[in-house]
Structure 1
Amino acid sequence: MKRYLILFGILCLLGNILTVSAQRRNQAYEEYIHKYRELAIHEMKRYRIPASITLAQGLLESGAGKSTLARKSNNHFGIKCGSGWNGKRAYHTDDAPNECFRAYKHPKDSYEDHSKFLRTKTRYAFLFELKVTDYKGWARGLKKAGYATDPRYANRLIDIIELYDLYEYDQKGKKDWMKGVTNPHQPYLANDLLYIIAREGDTFKSIAKEFDLSKKKVRTFNELPKDYEFSGGEVVYLEEKHKHATNGFISCKVYPGDSMYTIAQRYGVKLKYLYRLNDMKPEDGVPPVGSIIWLQ
């Protein structure tokens, strides 16, 4: 009888712990997680940022999508305009009155811009040396790099991740993404585009599988024929190139070995638009070394 009473007591205690844990959870947070978890996993596969960190930051910065900035401007991560932002803007009081924040058409754009923001800022570069499952290291690193002024920012992220078991999405995403991938590519950003450097033996299929894309997209993004074989060293874009180069790149000089295609790849411009910008046609051949090619 005594043994049964002890067992009963343990079960009651566990039940109480689970009840308290459930009571601590916020329904709005759980709804937000359910709505955006797949998007966070998708971003992790492409940019190598833990899905748990992305979700926790989204929850914290947007108040589970309920903040004015999130509702009116689809900005879920509190990213301010900065000098290089050319998109839509929204003005909101944060650390100072009437500050400029980035505005997006859709939350998906906010999630992608958050990934690119972390990837392109040198102060966050050390974070990408951490494992994708090291959410504590990422949380502390974000605070150290100055993502937020709140002195408890790292602890708040960790508390959210552990309360809502968000670390499970890091494991789930990692298993799906790493299945069959023994030596993953390092993704880079240039011209506001995500790309990798191809290795000998890469195929459209292997790159597509690693980055959760279709073979057709990998091929068309890079304007390559179906029978193309990678020799290694090629720039391979993982998203659609632009109609012109990003700000700061107005023109370039043609160097030995250049072609209109290599220039298009270097600056992330679709080949047909590069021809149009320079009033050229494909049959015009290779531009002379030293000539100027317009990028905008």
Structure 2
Amino acid sequence: MTCKKMFSRGWFCAMLGILLLIGNSAFSQRSVTNYVKKYKPTAIRIMNETGIPASVIMGVAMLESGMGTSKNAKYLHNHFGIVGRNTLHKQKGVAYRSRYKEFANAEASFDYFANMVSKKKWFSSLKGNTEYKLWLKHMNHAGYSSAGHEWVKRVTSMISRYKLYKLDEQMAYTGS
């Protein structure tokens, strides 16, 4: 039964729709806030150890893990869409199969991502640089994501929308 059939006034249905939209938006904002609060210390630690901007670390993690809600993030602790082995097929009660790498915890996933990025040839010329768009450009050219420029746009949007670039102000990397 549709809303209009249940209630003869169209304004009620419109108000109900608006309330649902506001509720979903509030939930979405809360999940963003929770995700950032939870993983910001890890991203800042990695930034200060490696010179990779925390905005890049968080932006990629947020996009690739759906703010920690994806099955890969939940079951595999994989926040970066990193392909590799997992033991899901051995776990009872898990009907999810994946080609993505399993990590002991989310922090291990973050560390693996940083290690993977730090092995790229262009890394030494960028470490300590907080220009996130330049990092994303190099990651894209190195083939980090098969989505290419669309991936860059989405990560850039995450960084801009949630002001993740402010995390980079805490850069204390001195290089070595």
Tell me the TM-score range normalised by the shorter chain. 0.7 to 0.9
**Bigger Rg over Cα:** 1
Show the counterpart of 1:138: 135
1:89 partner SS: coil
Which runs of no fewer than 5 residues in structure 2 stay unpaired? 1-24, 90-96
Once residues 33 and 148 of structure 1 are traced to their aligned partners in structure 2, the CA distance between those partners, rounded to angstroms, is 22
Deviations 1:188-246 (Å, cap 9, x if unpaired)? Answer: xxxxxxxxxxxxxxxxxxxxxxxxxxxxxxxxxxxxxxxxxxxxxxxxxxxxxxxxxxx
Once residues 127 and 165 of structure 1 are traced to their aligned partners in structure 2, the CA distance between those partners, rounded to angstroms, is 24
User: Are the aligned partners of 1:56 and 1:157 in contact in 2 as well (CA < 8 Å)?
Assistant: yes
User: Are the aligned partners of 1:90 and 1:102 in contact in 2 as well (CA < 8 Å)?
Assistant: no
Show the counterpart of 1:63: 66
Which runs of no fewer than 5 residues in structure 1 stay unpaired? 1-22, 82-87, 93-97, 179-183, 187-296
Show the counterpart of 1:126: 122
* Richer in strand (by share): 1
Deviation at 1:128, TM superposition (A): 3.6
The residue correspondences of 1:6-25 to structure 2 (distance < 5 A) are none
Deviations 1:154-184 (Å, cap 9, x if unpaired)? Answer: 111111111111011111x21xx25xxxxx3
Report how many aligned residue pairs link the two structures. 142
**Larger RCO: Structure 1 or Structure 2 (Cα < 8 Å, ≥ 6 residues apart)?**
2
Once residues 90 and 78 of structure 1 are traced to their aligned partners in structure 2, the CA distance between those partners, rounded to angstroms, is 16
Question: What one-letter code is carried by the residue in structure 1 that aligns with 2:157?
Answer: D
Q: TM-score, normalised by structure 1?
A: 0.45
Once residues 30 and 129 of structure 2 are traced to their aligned partners in structure 1, the CA distance between those partners, rounded to angstroms, is 27
Deviation at 1:90, TM superposition (A): 4.9
Query: Aligned-residue CA RMSD in angstroms?
Result: 2.2
* Richer in helix (by share): 2
Matched, 1:159 2:157: yes
2:113 partner SS: helix
Once residues 150 and 90 of structure 1 are traced to their aligned partners in structure 2, the CA distance between those partners, rounded to angstroms, is 27
The residue correspondences of 1:40-51 to structure 2 (distance < 5 A) are 40-51=43-54
Cα gap change, 1:128 to 1:165, in 2 (>3 Å): farther
